[in-house]
């Protein structure tokens, strides 16, 4: 079949949030753009379509209204320490600084100018364990989730006054970038709808293909060296189309990849009851007041298994098991269970503030009922023996002993009730610490015992490791230009968003302060487009 040819000043590869923002900003600058995306038109927007919409933002009016005194200097300190960024990591550090200093204007103010709103309460997440994380609350939630963000930006892109300078090609997958005499001149690809090959010639090629964690094979291949080996069964919390093919093509042309073994995965996944693709998982925000156990029913550790402190550490501690269990009860689940993403947060997605408040105050029975109905990995039982039997039936292993499980829960419940024994379970101190922040107090039970009869039924949730974001990627300078393995600019080639490790090939280092991804995509896209327009 004949190859179809296209030509423009700019080629953007990838129609996620990073690609869309780049294309929009290039149009604003009067430049012509071809945006190709391998996914279908209805999935234009990439992962941001499913994202919750949490963003780490610094020194905002929402923070000030809650009495939080943040500053770029403080945020940068938290960021570098938590990410364990080394002093010689020039570009990741430069992007971390850029995020701290410029995200207020380039992300927060910009989104507000587009008519988007944040919820009034700011959240304190990733407090850190042995390494301190966020020292104050800076996690803002976009009212309407990632979905409203994507819809708003797509509308602006497609209704743009310079629309005739834009061509969007869905189901067009780039296979290789084209490089002549050291200069990138576009890409070759395939139109997956008609199977026709195509090529695009452009002065600037901007890679916005997302991370590499869209395939669990990539996650396993880049697994952190000093961790226990990857679990055999791993759920996919990203999108299989982000498979790293363009990363590899660029590395084959001498481009520099870095921090690929730094990832932002999650410890508490369940198979998606209505999967969008094979192996698709949902990431639960694990209930804090629960016992988190190994397949044999033993408490995990050594660090307390409580979310909100160090996601990386939680991942490391579950990684050595094929699956883990959380054991809790109805009352705890109703207050504490949440699922990351737009799909399972309809109150925020659909702007239902009164119902959101009602769920917050009275608990989210709807979600717990839905999960018990839809997911075989959620189990309810009236007593410990029955719960253990159901757990064993699900795992098809006889590893949970009902009386041992009951004894463990009873001991934990006694320790909860006896302040002199709080030290026996470091998790208790964590729960108390969490409840000191106003918004978390509303979402976290006050030392609720697990065995209490009227808080039942008992619930067990079987959890699997779930992949999500790549913290590493193509190394870029502050203009978004991709750098070679010798640290030189590769003419004509740029990278933005998760493909660039949110800037510099790994701006977050080993850990994110959380909610730095959507905002990192917007920041890198806007900076890069501005650099191209002002050249």
Do residues 50 and 246 lie in contact, with contact meaning Cβ atoms separated by under 8 Å?
no
User: Does 387 help bind ligand FAD (rule: CB under 6 A)?
Assistant: no
**Which residue spans within 242-298 are E strands per DSSP?**
257-258, 263-271, 281-285, 291-293
Say which residues have a Cβ less than 8 Å from residue 159's Cβ, sequence separation at least 6: none
Query: Dihedral, CA atoms, 493, 496, 501, 502, nearest 10 degrees?
Result: 150
Binder of ligand FAD out of 215, 222, 242, 256 (CB under 6 A): 242
Q: How far apart are the first and last CA of the chain?
A: 38
- Using DSSP's 3-state secondary structure scheme, residue 494 falls into strand
Cis peptide before 122 (omega within 30 of 0): no
Q: How many residues bind ligand FAD (CB under 6 A)?
A: 43
CB of 55 to ligand FAD, least distance (A): 6
> In which element (H, E) is residue 533 found?
helix 517-533
Nearer to ligand FAD, 17 or 416 (CB): 17
User: Does 14 help bind ligand FAD (rule: CB under 6 A)?
Assistant: yes
- The DSSP bridge partners found for residue 416 are none
Binder of ligand FAD out of 245, 447, 478, 531 (CB under 6 A): 245
Site string for ligand FAD, 145-164 (x = CB under 6 A): -x------------------
Residues 507-526 touching ligand FAD, rule: CB under 6 A, are: 515, 517-518, 521
Binder of ligand FAD out of 83, 92, 186, 237 (CB under 6 A): 237
CB of 12 to ligand FAD, least distance (A): 9
How many H helices and E strands in the chain? 18, 20
CB of 173 to ligand FAD, least distance (A): 4
Give the Cα separation of 167 and 169 in Å (integer): 6
User: Does 174 help bind ligand FAD (rule: CB under 6 A)?
Assistant: yes
The residue sitting closest to ligand FAD, measured at its beta carbon, is 16
User: Does 48 help bind ligand FAD (rule: CB under 6 A)?
Assistant: yes
Print the SS3 string covering 57-68.
CCCCHHHHHCCC
Binder of ligand FAD out of 37, 126, 377, 477 (CB under 6 A): 37
Give the Cα separation of 230 and 320 in Å (integer): 7
Binder of ligand FAD out of 6, 10, 12, 16 (CB under 6 A): 16
Binder of ligand FAD out of 186, 286, 341, 480 (CB under 6 A): 341
Task: Find the part of the chain contacting ligand FAD (CB under 6 A) among 48-56, 269-277, 442-450, 526-534.
Answer: 48-56
Binder of ligand FAD out of 58, 148, 208, 431 (CB under 6 A): 208
- The DSSP bridge partners found for residue 380 are 459
- The DSSP bridge partners found for residue 326 are 292, 461
Nearer to ligand FAD, 259 or 406 (CB): 259
Give the Cα separation of 267 and 325 in Å (integer): 11
Q: At what angle do helices 90-103 and 517-533 cross, to 10 degrees?
A: 100
Binder of ligand FAD out of 6, 10, 15, 431 (CB under 6 A): 15
- CB-count exposure of residue 253 (10 Å: 0-12, 13-18, 19+): middle
Residues 127-146 touching ligand FAD, rule: CB under 6 A, are: 146
Binder of ligand FAD out of 256, 293, 498, 503 (CB under 6 A): 498
What residues line the site for ligand FAD (CB under 6 A)?
13-19, 36-39, 46-48, 50-55, 146, 173-174, 208-210, 237-239, 241-242, 245-246, 340-341, 469, 497-499, 515, 517-518, 521
């Amino acid at each position: 079949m004949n190859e179809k040819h296209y030509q423009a000043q700019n080629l953007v590869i990838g129609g996620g949030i990073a690609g869309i923002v780049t294309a929009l900003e290039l149009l604003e600058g009067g430049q012509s753009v071809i945006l190709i995306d391998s996914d279908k038109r209805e999935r234009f927007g990439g992962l941001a379509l499913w994202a919750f919409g949490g963003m780490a933002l610094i020194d905002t009016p929402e923070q000030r209204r809650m009495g939080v005194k943040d500053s770029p200097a403080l945020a940068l300190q938290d960021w570098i320490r938590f990410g364990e960024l080394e002093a010689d990591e020039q570009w990741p550090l430069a992007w971390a600084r850029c995020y701290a200093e410029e995200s207020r204007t380039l992300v927060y103010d910009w989104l507000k100018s587009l008519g988007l709103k944040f919820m009034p309460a700011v959240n304190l997440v990733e407090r850190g364990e042995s390494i301190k994380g966020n020292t104050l609350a800076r996690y803002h939630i976009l009212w309407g989730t990632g979905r409203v963000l994507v819809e708003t930006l797509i509308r602006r892109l497609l209704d743009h006054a310079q629309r005739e300078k834009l061509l969007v090609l869905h189901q067009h997958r780039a296979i290789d970038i084209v490089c002549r005499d050291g200069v990138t001149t576009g890409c070759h690809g395939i139109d997956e709808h008609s199977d026709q090959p195509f090529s695009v010639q452009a002065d600037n090629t901007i890679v916005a293909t997302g991370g590499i964690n869209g395939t669990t094979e990539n996650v396993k291949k880049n697994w952190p060296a000093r961790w226990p080996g990857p679990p055999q069964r791993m759920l996919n919390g990203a999108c299989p189309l982000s498979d790293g093919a363009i990363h590899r093509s660029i590395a084959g042309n001498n481009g520099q990849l870095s921090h690929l073994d730094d990832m932002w995965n999650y410890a508490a996944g369940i198979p998606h009851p209505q999967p969008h693709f094979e192996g698709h998982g949902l990431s639960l925000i694990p209930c804090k007041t629960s016992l988190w156990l190994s397949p044999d029913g033993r408490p995990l550790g050594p660090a307390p298994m409580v979310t909100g402190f160090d996601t990386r550490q939680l991942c490391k501690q579950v990684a050595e098991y094929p699956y883990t269990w959380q054991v809790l009860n109805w009352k705890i689940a109703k207050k504490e269970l949440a699922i990351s993403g737009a799909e399972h947060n309809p109150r925020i997605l659909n702007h239902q503030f009164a119902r959101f408040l009602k769920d917050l105050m009275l608990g989210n029975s709807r979600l717990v009922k839905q999960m018990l109905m839809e997911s075989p990995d959620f189990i309810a039982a009236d007593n410990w023996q029955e719960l253990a039997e159901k757990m064993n039936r699900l795992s098809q292993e006889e590893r949970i002993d009902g009386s041992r499980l009951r004894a463990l829960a009873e001991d934990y419940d006694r320790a909860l009730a006896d302040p002199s024994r709080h030290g026996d379970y470091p998790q208790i101190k964590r729960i108390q610490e969490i409840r000191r922040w106003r918004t978390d107090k509303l979402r976290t039970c006050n030392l609720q015992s697990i065995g209490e009869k009227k808080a039942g039924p008992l619930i067990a949730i079987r959890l699997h490791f779930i992949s999500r974001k790549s913290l590493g990627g193509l190394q870029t300078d502050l203009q978004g230009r991709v750098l070679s393995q010798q640290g030189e600019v590769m003419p004509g080639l740029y990278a933005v968003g998760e493909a660039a490790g949110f800037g510099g090939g790994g701006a977050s280092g080993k850990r994110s302060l959380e909610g730095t991804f959507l905002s990192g995509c917007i920041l890198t896209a806007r900076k890069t487009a501005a650099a191209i327009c002002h050249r």
